Structure 1
Protein backbone atom coordinates (compact mmCIF):
# COMPACT_ATOMS: atom_id res chain seq x y z
CA UNK A 1 0.00 0.00 0.00
CA UNK A 2 1.03 3.58 -0.58
CA UNK A 3 1.38 6.04 2.28
CA UNK A 4 -1.95 7.59 1.25
CA UNK A 5 -3.66 4.18 1.29
CA UNK A 6 -2.24 3.33 4.73
CA UNK A 7 -3.29 6.76 6.04
CA UNK A 8 -6.82 6.46 4.68
CA UNK A 9 -7.25 2.93 6.05
CA UNK A 10 -5.95 3.96 9.50
CA UNK A 11 -8.37 6.89 9.66
CA UNK A 12 -11.27 4.69 8.53
CA UNK A 13 -10.58 1.97 11.11
CA UNK A 14 -10.01 4.46 13.95
CA UNK A 15 -13.23 6.32 13.13
CA UNK A 16 -14.99 2.94 13.40
CA UNK A 17 -13.36 2.32 16.80
CA UNK A 18 -11.29 -0.56 15.42
CA UNK A 19 -7.93 0.54 16.82
CA UNK A 20 -6.65 -2.98 17.47
CA UNK A 21 -7.60 -4.08 13.93
CA UNK A 22 -5.70 -1.06 12.57
CA UNK A 23 -2.58 -2.20 14.43
CA UNK A 24 -3.00 -5.80 13.23
CA UNK A 25 -3.39 -4.78 9.59
CA UNK A 26 -1.23 -1.69 9.21
CA UNK A 27 1.67 -1.82 11.67
CA UNK A 28 5.08 -3.42 11.05
CA UNK A 29 6.34 -6.00 13.54
CA UNK A 30 9.23 -3.73 14.58
CA UNK A 31 7.16 -0.53 14.98
CA UNK A 32 8.15 2.11 17.53
CA UNK A 33 5.60 4.32 19.26
CA UNK A 34 6.43 7.51 21.15
CA UNK A 35 4.35 9.47 23.62
CA UNK A 36 5.41 12.88 25.02
CA UNK A 37 8.40 12.97 27.35
CA UNK A 38 7.33 11.94 30.84
CA UNK A 39 4.32 9.91 29.69
CA UNK A 40 3.79 6.52 31.33
CA UNK A 41 4.66 4.68 28.12
CA UNK A 42 7.09 7.17 26.60
CA UNK A 43 8.54 4.59 24.18
CA UNK A 44 6.91 1.35 23.11
CA UNK A 45 8.64 -1.05 20.73
CA UNK A 46 7.11 -3.92 18.76
CA UNK A 47 3.68 -4.51 17.29
CA UNK A 48 2.32 -6.59 20.20
CA UNK A 49 3.54 -4.06 22.78
CA UNK A 50 1.87 -1.23 20.84
CA UNK A 51 -1.35 -3.23 20.66
CA UNK A 52 -1.16 -3.96 24.40
CA UNK A 53 -0.66 -0.23 25.09
CA UNK A 54 -3.73 0.60 23.00
CA UNK A 55 -5.87 -2.04 24.71
CA UNK A 56 -4.72 -0.79 28.13
CA UNK A 57 -5.72 2.76 27.16
CA UNK A 58 -9.14 1.54 25.98
CA UNK A 59 -9.71 -0.32 29.27
CA UNK A 60 -8.90 2.84 31.25
CA UNK A 61 -11.88 4.67 29.75
CA UNK A 62 -15.31 4.59 31.34
CA UNK A 63 -17.05 6.56 28.58
CA UNK A 64 -16.16 8.39 25.37
CA UNK A 65 -18.39 11.45 25.02
CA UNK A 66 -17.06 12.54 21.62
CA UNK A 67 -14.22 11.73 19.27
CA UNK A 68 -13.09 13.16 15.95
CA UNK A 69 -10.25 12.19 13.65
CA UNK A 70 -9.15 14.51 10.86
CA UNK A 71 -8.44 13.49 7.32
CA UNK A 72 -4.74 12.68 6.89
CA UNK A 73 -2.11 15.03 5.53
CA UNK A 74 0.41 12.98 3.52
CA UNK A 75 4.00 13.87 2.62
CA UNK A 76 6.03 11.13 0.93
CA UNK A 77 6.58 8.45 3.63
CA UNK A 78 4.84 10.31 6.47
CA UNK A 79 1.33 11.38 7.34
CA UNK A 80 -0.33 13.16 10.21
CA UNK A 81 -3.80 13.36 11.67
CA UNK A 82 -5.43 15.28 14.50
CA UNK A 83 -7.38 13.31 17.09
CA UNK A 84 -9.73 15.14 19.45
CA UNK A 85 -11.64 13.35 22.14
CA UNK A 86 -13.63 13.95 25.28
CA UNK A 87 -13.57 10.94 27.59
CA UNK A 88 -14.21 10.01 31.19
CA UNK A 89 -11.40 7.87 32.57
CA UNK A 90 -12.01 5.38 35.35
CA UNK A 91 -9.23 6.87 37.51
CA UNK A 92 -8.86 10.45 36.29
CA UNK A 93 -12.37 11.69 35.53
CA UNK A 94 -13.37 13.57 32.42
CA UNK A 95 -10.60 14.88 30.15
CA UNK A 96 -10.78 16.68 26.80
CA UNK A 97 -7.71 16.17 24.67
CA UNK A 98 -6.35 17.13 21.27
CA UNK A 99 -3.27 15.52 19.79
CA UNK A 100 -1.28 15.53 16.58
CA UNK A 101 -0.31 12.03 15.48
CA UNK A 102 2.58 11.54 13.06
CA UNK A 103 3.21 8.24 11.29
CA UNK A 104 6.06 6.90 9.16
CA UNK A 105 5.34 4.29 6.48
CA UNK A 106 7.84 1.90 4.91
CA UNK A 107 7.01 -0.97 2.56
CA UNK A 108 3.27 -0.42 3.07
CA UNK A 109 3.37 -0.64 6.88
CA UNK A 110 3.55 1.87 9.73
CA UNK A 111 7.06 1.61 11.18
CA UNK A 112 6.80 4.51 13.66
CA UNK A 113 4.21 6.72 15.28
CA UNK A 114 4.58 9.69 17.57
CA UNK A 115 1.91 11.56 19.50
CA UNK A 116 2.10 15.22 20.46
CA UNK A 117 -0.16 16.52 23.23
CA UNK A 118 0.10 18.51 26.42
CA UNK A 119 0.57 16.47 29.60
CA UNK A 120 -1.50 17.48 32.61
Structure 2
Protein backbone atom coordinates (compact mmCIF):
# COMPACT_ATOMS: atom_id res chain seq x y z
CA UNK A 1 0.00 0.00 0.00
CA UNK A 2 1.10 3.56 -0.58
CA UNK A 3 0.95 6.25 2.10
CA UNK A 4 -2.55 7.41 1.16
CA UNK A 5 -3.88 3.84 1.25
CA UNK A 6 -2.29 3.19 4.66
CA UNK A 7 -3.76 6.47 5.96
CA UNK A 8 -7.22 5.62 4.63
CA UNK A 9 -7.13 2.15 6.20
CA UNK A 10 -5.94 3.50 9.57
CA UNK A 11 -8.73 6.07 9.59
CA UNK A 12 -11.32 3.44 8.67
CA UNK A 13 -10.21 1.07 11.44
CA UNK A 14 -9.98 3.85 14.05
CA UNK A 15 -13.47 5.08 13.18
CA UNK A 16 -14.71 1.52 13.71
CA UNK A 17 -12.94 1.33 17.10
CA UNK A 18 -10.56 -1.36 15.82
CA UNK A 19 -7.32 0.12 17.14
CA UNK A 20 -5.62 -3.21 17.87
CA UNK A 21 -6.51 -4.52 14.41
CA UNK A 22 -4.97 -1.35 12.93
CA UNK A 23 -1.72 -2.06 14.78
CA UNK A 24 -1.70 -5.72 13.72
CA UNK A 25 -2.41 -4.89 10.10
CA UNK A 26 -0.59 -1.63 9.46
CA UNK A 27 2.33 -1.26 11.89
CA UNK A 28 5.89 -2.39 11.26
CA UNK A 29 7.42 -4.77 13.82
CA UNK A 30 9.95 -2.06 14.78
CA UNK A 31 7.47 0.84 15.08
CA UNK A 32 8.46 3.78 17.27
CA UNK A 33 5.80 5.77 19.10
CA UNK A 34 6.30 9.15 20.79
CA UNK A 35 4.01 11.01 23.17
CA UNK A 36 4.69 14.50 24.57
CA UNK A 37 7.74 14.87 26.79
CA UNK A 38 7.06 13.99 30.42
CA UNK A 39 4.06 11.76 29.74
CA UNK A 40 4.10 8.18 31.07
CA UNK A 41 4.43 6.65 27.60
CA UNK A 42 6.86 9.21 26.18
CA UNK A 43 8.68 6.66 23.98
CA UNK A 44 7.59 3.17 22.99
CA UNK A 45 9.37 0.87 20.56
CA UNK A 46 8.16 -2.32 18.87
CA UNK A 47 4.74 -3.50 17.72
CA UNK A 48 4.07 -5.56 20.87
CA UNK A 49 4.96 -2.61 23.13
CA UNK A 50 2.70 -0.25 21.14
CA UNK A 51 -0.14 -2.78 21.38
CA UNK A 52 0.53 -3.00 25.11
CA UNK A 53 0.29 0.76 25.57
CA UNK A 54 -2.95 0.78 23.57
CA UNK A 55 -4.46 -1.95 25.75
CA UNK A 56 -3.28 -0.08 28.87
CA UNK A 57 -5.01 3.09 27.65
CA UNK A 58 -8.21 1.18 26.81
CA UNK A 59 -8.21 -0.36 30.30
CA UNK A 60 -8.06 3.14 31.83
CA UNK A 61 -11.24 4.22 30.01
CA UNK A 62 -14.48 4.04 31.95
CA UNK A 63 -16.59 5.54 29.14
CA UNK A 64 -15.82 6.88 25.68
CA UNK A 65 -18.40 9.62 25.09
CA UNK A 66 -17.21 10.56 21.62
CA UNK A 67 -14.21 10.19 19.35
CA UNK A 68 -13.44 11.39 15.86
CA UNK A 69 -10.54 11.30 13.44
CA UNK A 70 -10.12 13.68 10.51
CA UNK A 71 -9.26 12.83 6.95
CA UNK A 72 -5.51 12.52 6.36
CA UNK A 73 -3.15 15.11 4.96
CA UNK A 74 -0.45 13.22 3.04
CA UNK A 75 3.04 14.38 2.11
CA UNK A 76 5.15 11.66 0.49
CA UNK A 77 5.94 9.11 3.24
CA UNK A 78 4.10 11.02 5.99
CA UNK A 79 0.49 11.69 6.90
CA UNK A 80 -1.24 13.51 9.71
CA UNK A 81 -4.70 13.39 11.25
CA UNK A 82 -6.50 15.28 14.00
CA UNK A 83 -8.12 13.19 16.73
CA UNK A 84 -10.78 14.44 19.17
CA UNK A 85 -11.85 12.46 22.22
CA UNK A 86 -14.21 12.98 25.13
CA UNK A 87 -13.41 10.28 27.69
CA UNK A 88 -14.20 9.46 31.30
CA UNK A 89 -11.17 7.75 32.83
CA UNK A 90 -11.42 5.39 35.79
CA UNK A 91 -10.73 7.40 38.94
CA UNK A 92 -9.75 10.54 37.01
CA UNK A 93 -13.01 11.94 35.68
CA UNK A 94 -14.04 13.20 32.30
CA UNK A 95 -11.53 14.81 29.94
CA UNK A 96 -11.78 16.34 26.49
CA UNK A 97 -8.69 16.05 24.34
CA UNK A 98 -7.59 17.06 20.86
CA UNK A 99 -4.34 15.84 19.33
CA UNK A 100 -2.41 15.83 16.09
CA UNK A 101 -0.92 12.49 15.08
CA UNK A 102 1.89 12.25 12.54
CA UNK A 103 2.73 8.91 10.93
CA UNK A 104 5.65 7.79 8.77
CA UNK A 105 5.12 4.99 6.23
CA UNK A 106 7.80 2.80 4.67
CA UNK A 107 7.18 -0.22 2.43
CA UNK A 108 3.44 -0.10 3.14
CA UNK A 109 3.78 -0.15 6.95
CA UNK A 110 3.69 2.55 9.63
CA UNK A 111 7.24 2.76 11.00
CA UNK A 112 6.79 5.78 13.31
CA UNK A 113 4.01 7.70 15.00
CA UNK A 114 4.13 10.85 17.09
CA UNK A 115 1.33 12.52 19.02
CA UNK A 116 1.12 16.22 19.86
CA UNK A 117 -1.32 17.37 22.55
CA UNK A 118 -1.64 19.34 25.76
CA UNK A 119 -2.41 17.56 28.99
CA UNK A 120 -6.20 16.98 28.92
CA UNK A 121 -8.46 19.23 30.96
CA UNK A 122 -11.39 18.03 33.02
CA UNK A 123 -14.72 18.51 31.22
CA UNK A 124 -16.84 17.72 34.31
Aligned residues: 120
2:38 match: secondary structure: coil
1:65 match: secondary structure: strand
Separation of aligned partners in 1, 2:67 and 2:31: 25
Counterpart for residue 57 of structure 1: 57
The normalised TM-score by structure 1 is 0.98
Matches within 5 A, 1:20-31: 20-31=20-31
Matches within 5 A, 1:1-120: 1-119=1-119
Separation of aligned partners in 2, 1:118 and 1:85: 13
CA RMSD of aligned residues (A): 0.6
Q: Deviations over 1:39-72 (max 9, x none)?
A: 0010000000000000110110000111111001
1:55 match: secondary structure: helix
- Give the ranges of 4+ consecutive aligned residues of structure 1 lying more than 3 Å apart after TM superposition: none
The normalised TM-score by structure 2 is 0.95
Unmatched runs of 5 consecutive residues or more in structure 2: none
Deviation, structure 1 residue 92: 1.1
